[in-house]
């Protein structure tokens, strides 16, 4: 089987993840705590915080 190289991360994605690391961790921690009984909107507070952070980073790029 041929080995696949990991996809190169775009600089924008790297920047977003660096700036929003704490929100991403909070969301991931919430999801991980609910496995395997994850339901829709279960971690919406954390998700909305992550989304807001990501949107701010994208908007401030310009």
pLDDT single digits (tens) 28-55:
999 999 888 888 889 999 999 999 999 9
Write down the pLDDT at residue 46: 97
pLDDT of residue 10: 81
Q: Tell me the average pLDDT of the chain.
A: 87
**Could you tell me if 57 and 15 are in contact, meaning their C-beta atoms sit under 8 angstroms apart?**
yes
- Supply the angle between the helices 21-34 and 11-19 in degrees, to the nearest 10: 80
- Asked whether the bond before 2 is cis by omega within 30 degrees of 0, the reply is no
pLDDT at 32: 94
Banded pLDDT at 11 (limits 50, 70, 90): confident
Q: Output the pTM of the full model.
A: 0.74
Where along the chain do its domains lie?
18-59
Residue 15 structure tokens? 């920047």
């Amino acid at each position: 089987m041929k080995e696949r190289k990991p996809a190169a991360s775009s600089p924008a994605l790297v920047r977003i993840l660096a700036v929003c690391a704490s929100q991403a961790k909070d969301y991931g921690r919430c999801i991980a705590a609910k496995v395997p009984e994850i339901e829709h909107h279960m971690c919406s507070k954390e998700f909305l915080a992550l989304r807001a952070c990501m949107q701010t980073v994208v908007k401030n790029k310009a």
